[in-house]
Structure formats: C-alpha cells, structure tokens
Chain A
Amino acid sequence: MTRDKEAELIAAVLAGDPNAFEPLVTEHQTRIYNLALRMTGNPDDAFDLSQDAFIKAYESLKDFRGDCAFGSWLYRLASNMCIDFLRKAKKRRTVPLTQSDDGEGERELEIADTRFSPETELERSELRRAIEAGLEAMPPAARQMIVMRDVSGLSYAQIAEILNVELGTVKSRISRARTRLVKLLSGDGTFHGSDSSKERKEGAGHA
C-alpha cells in the first residue's frame, strides 16, 4: 500500500467512514498477529492483543501525524502493548528445552554443531519447538529484538525508529539477544566451545 493510499484511507476514517479502516487492518494483520504470537507465545492471547492493537489504533488515529508509515506507528503501538501484556503476566516459566530427561544428554539440539542443519521434517519441527521455547524463556526486551528482526523482518533503521534508539544500540541489542537465544538452544550455556568435546569436533579440520 502506498503512503498516498494510506493517507487517503486515514483521512476517510477521520472524516467518519469506519469501513475505510478495513484495508489497513488486512494489510497489517499478518505482521501484527505474528508479532503478538511470538511475544505472547500463544494464539489466543495473540488474537486478543492484535484486535486490541487495531482498535486502539483506530481510536487514536487522529494522533497519527503521518511523519512515519502507518505500519510503523501501528507496530510500535502493538509492540508496546505486547511488552505491557508480558509485564502484567509476570510469570516466566522455565521451559525444558532439551530431551535430556530420557538420558539423551548429548543429543541436545547441538545448534552449535557444524553438522547441524534441519533437513528432515522432524529436525525442523524440533528446531521450531525449541525456538518457541527459547523465545518464551527470554526476557521480553530481548525477545522483542528477535521478533522485530527475524519474525517481523524489520530493518535496523526501522527498529531504531520504532524503539526510538540509536542504530548502534539496535545492532548490539540484536546480537546480544541472538547469542542469548542460541545459548538457550545449545542447552548448556557455554556455546563458545569451552566445552571440550564440541571444540574438538569443530577443531582443526574446519576452515
């Protein structure tokens, strides 16, 4: 949707035509829903939160000044609602990320293992489940970085705009969040291979 079209629709809504809001909803609903889904971790909350975000956007549309894309403004609104939601929810449960219960300690996801690439369906769905669990185990601010970059596909500049921070801050927050996630997925928190067995595997032969 072009900025012109956007502006046209917004003007129509403000002039009293609620139906003009619908194309704005359908345009952005996938992005907003997935933001909410990966932040809250469950579809019901994501559904409610997404609807609430759109409704709030509608109700405060007169405050939108058009100095950024509507989508960015909406995304920021929704993202803040997600953070608030998580703060209120308050619970941070520890989610088991590995199958170490069945004594398969070594067969943790081994993301760090150079041989790992999810080729089979089973590996892929294991990876997905682990990623979902990993996201939920992260604090909201870190989770938000992964979601904005890898789920919503926002550029560093867009993220900087939405969060109202410097580009450099975005870069460092993203890499820290990713490292955190990868460590969670590796299970043992010593990703950088101070674990001797991993170091040996990745050792001399690789260049």
Chain B
Amino acid sequence: MPDCNNYEMLISAVLDGEATEAERDVLQRHMANCASCAALYRAYAAVNGELKNMEVTPPDTLAAGVMYKIKHTGKKRFAVGRFTALAAAAAVVILVGSYVLPGFGASKSTDKVEAPEMYLGAGAEADRVMNEPAAPAEPPPMPTLAPAPDQPAAEPEGDNSMTASMMSEGGAYGVSRGHAGIVMDGLEKTEDWLGVYIVIGQTPEALADLEPLAMEDGGARYEAEGSVIAAMEAEGLFSEVIYLNDSAEKGVVVVYPKEITEVEP
C-alpha cells in the first residue's frame, strides 16, 4: 500500500475525534481494503486506551508540600552544603536547648533526669530502647536534658556529641532545612511536647488513623501519645529524634515521604 503513510494522520485524527464526517468515510473505505491500516488503527486504539487508564493519583504530600514551600520561602533558603545544613541545624538544636533550660531547671528534679526511661513515658519498653546499643536510626537524646546550671561543662560536650552523631549518620538522614524548620516552628510548644521525631518513608501504621496537624516542607506532622512514640521507637522507625522535654505526654512525629538530602540553592 504505497500511500498508507497518508492515512496515518487520518487514523490519528479519527481516533481523536478530530476528523470530519467525510474524512471518517474516506478512512472507513480505505481500511476495508487495507489490513495494514486497519491493524494500525487497532494498535493505536489499544495503546491510547491503555494510556488513558494509566492515570495515577498524586500523593497528598504534593499539594501540601507546595503550600508549605510557598509560605515559607524565607526558611528554605538555607546554606548550600549538607554539612553546612547540619551545622545550622545543630546550632538550632543548641538554641532549642537553651530555650528549654530555664523551664526545665526550675521544675524538674535531678532524679527524673537520671531516669531516662521517663523520656518515653513507658517503662519496660523505654528501658529496652534506652539500653540498646546506639542503632544508626536512634541518635542519643539531646544533652540539654541532662541539665545545666551546675554542669556547664556537660553542655558543650553534649553538643559536640550530638553534632557528631548527626554528622556521622550523615547520608540520607542528615538534618536538612526541613527538619530545622520544624524545630524552629516547634519552639513555641516545647513545654507541651516530648520531642520531635522524624520518619522517612511510609507513614507508620500507628499514625494511620491520625489527622496530620500540618504539612511542612513536604512532610506530614502528627501529634502522637508518648506510648505510641515509644512503640515506634522500639521498631526503629525514627531516622532522627530531637528530644525537647522529658515530662510531656505527647510528641510530634514528622513523616517525610522521601529522603531530604539536598538543600535547594
């Protein structure tokens, strides 16, 4: 069929509903005598039909992430390199620590501090978690919770170890602009929250029934009970934990659908 190439466009147009009545007739008559074109028509139809069925629903975090980013354009412009971001975040963590301290020192006894299981508010589980050798996903608690006024030396050391542990995790779990941003946002509520817990990947089962508080930086933020958090910590779900207050009942869990490893320039 020498002029079948001319019919390709016609086939497409007819399939797309962009052909005239007359054009459809021409094609019909041609296809009655040209098996090759008839086959092409069917092939186009099969492919087109399947493509229409392949539509995917985007994840919820897409819109949420967009809204967060457009409302927080200032915050996202952190420094460029990963380590600079880590240092910035470590500075924020120290800042959070000193913010918490006065309240902490005033109302908490040293006994409580020395019983780390209180952090998680769930005895046996907490013991197990706290006594486990430091797994990569669980950095040690913030040193500022082993408080301050009479142990000034401890704080800087602690800070170094915190920074060091965050840096040694390096890789995918580096604290980036997003995480620091959340800690910054959380400052107002440090007295109410046990800590900020970061999950990267799927939303954990335990949170499935909860409504996210907010979507920030592409991450969904949930308020969760201490016991729920302890269970999740025991499963090793957290890539990062920033402890703020050992006596609170609830914590904030932030779930990022994927690793945030790069800071946008």
Known interface pairs A47-B59, A153-B52, A156-B18; A193-B67 also in contact (CB < 8 Å):
no
A residues contacting the other copy or chain, number (CB 8 A): 58
On chain A, the residues within 8 Å of B82 by CB distance are none
Shortest beta-carbon distance from B16 to chain A in Å: 7
A202 to B36, CA, bound (A): 8
Q: Judge if A100 is at the interface, Cβ distance under 8 Å.
A: no
Known interface pairs A30-B57, A128-B54; A175-B12 also in contact (CB < 8 Å):
yes
A193–B51 touching, CB < 8 Å: no
A206–B62 touching, CB < 8 Å: no
Shortest beta-carbon distance from B35 to chain A in Å: 4
Q: Which residue of A lies closest to B76 (CB)?
A: A55
Q: Which residue of B lies closest to A204 (CB)?
A: B35
Q: Which B24-73 residues have a C-beta within 8 angstroms of A?
A: 32-33, 35-36, 38-40, 42-44, 46-48, 50-52, 54-59, 61-63, 65-67, 69-71
Q: Judge if B169 is at the interface, Cβ distance under 8 Å.
A: no
A174 to B65, CA, bound (A): 34
Where chain B touches its partner, the secondary structure class is: helix
Q: Judge if A155 is at the interface, Cβ distance under 8 Å.
A: yes
A202 to B67, CA, bound (A): 55
B16–A146 touching, CB < 8 Å: no
B58–A47 touching, CB < 8 Å: yes
A146–B39 touching, CB < 8 Å: no
Q: Judge if A207 is at the interface, Cβ distance under 8 Å.
A: yes
Q: Which A154-196 residues have a C-beta within 8 angstroms of B?
A: 155-156, 171-172, 174-176, 178-179, 181-182, 185-186, 191-193
Q: Which A100-154 residues have a C-beta within 8 angstroms of B?
A: 111-114, 116-118, 124, 127-128, 131, 146, 149-151, 153
Shortest beta-carbon distance from B262 to chain A in Å: 10
- Contact stretch, chosen from B3-11, B147-155, B159-167, B246-254: B3-11
Where chain A touches its partner, the secondary structure class is: helix
A22–B67 touching, CB < 8 Å: yes
A202–B71 touching, CB < 8 Å: no
B51–A191 touching, CB < 8 Å: no
B residues contacting the other copy or chain, number (CB 8 A): 43
Q: Judge if A197 is at the interface, Cβ distance under 8 Å.
A: no
A29–B46 touching, CB < 8 Å: no
Known interface pairs A22-B67, A44-B258, A156-B18; A175-B11 also in contact (CB < 8 Å):
yes
Interface centre among A47, A50, A175 (most CB of B within 10 A): A175
On chain B, the residues within 8 Å of A149 by CB distance are 16
A34 to B55, CA, bound (A): 6
Shortest beta-carbon distance from A106 to chain B in Å: 17
A124–B67 touching, CB < 8 Å: no
- Contact among B12, B38, B46, B50 for A206, CB-based, below 8 A: B38
A113 to B42, CA, bound (A): 9
A21–B58 touching, CB < 8 Å: no
On chain A, the residues within 8 Å of B18 by CB distance are 155-156, 171
B39–A55 touching, CB < 8 Å: no
B70–A146 touching, CB < 8 Å: no
Pairs A-B, 9 closest by C-beta atoms: A33-B58, A175-B12, A150-B51, A202-B35, A175-B9, A111-B43, A54-B66, A175-B8, A25-B63
**Known A33-B62, A50-B62, A176-B8; further 14 A-B contacts with Cβ < 8 A:** A34-B55, A47-B59, A47-B257, A47-B258, A50-B58, A58-B66, A112-B40, A124-B50, A155-B18, A174-B12, A175-B9, A192-B4, A192-B36, A207-B32
B residues sitting closer than 8 Å to A (CB atoms) are 1, 4, 8-9, 11-13, 16, 18, 32-33, 35-36, 38-40, 42-44, 46-48, 50-52, 54-59, 61-63, 65-67, 69-71, 218, 257-258
A residues sitting closer than 8 Å to B (CB atoms) are 18-19, 21-22, 25-26, 29-30, 33-34, 37-38, 43-44, 47, 50-51, 54-55, 58-59, 111-114, 116-118, 124, 127-128, 131, 146, 149-151, 153, 155-156, 171-172, 174-176, 178-179, 181-182, 185-186, 191-193, 199, 202-203, 206-207
A-B contact pairs, 9 of them (CB 8 A): A18-B67, A22-B63, A26-B63, A37-B56, A47-B257, A55-B69, A124-B50, A127-B47, A179-B8
